[in-house]
Amino acid sequence: MAASVTAAHAEPSGDTGSGAAVPECLTFSAGWRYTFVTSDCPTTHTVRVVYGNGMEVPYREVPPRAVVTFPGYGTTGNTVEGIVLYDGDDGS
């Protein structure tokens, strides 16, 4: 059974990432297995996906006109809240 997925441009609430607005040329579509971040930007951006349950994933570079795959929201009620830009601190 396939789930319908729609693209969204969104930033999560709270203090995650650089605080800079995610450009409209970056969008994401979330599914239970994968979340795809798509760039229609002319430059590379480094982003990560923010999840409702606080799950942390590494930042990844998204080159111009590329689609980068992140984990999906899974089957346990997690949600994808948005994407954030890299702020120079990966939390390690």
Side chain identity at residue 68, one-letter code:
V
How many angstroms separate the CA atoms of 59 and 70, rounded?
A: 10
**Average predicted confidence (pLDDT) for the chain:** 84
Q: What is the pLDDT of residue 87?
A: 82
In the chain, what are the domains? Answer: 7-85 (2.60.40.20)
CA dihedral for 5, 80, 90, 11, sign (positive or negative) = positive
* pLDDT tens profile 45-58: 999 999 999 999 99
**pLDDT less than 70: residues of the chain:** 1-18, 89-92
Q: What is the pLDDT of residue 1?
A: 39
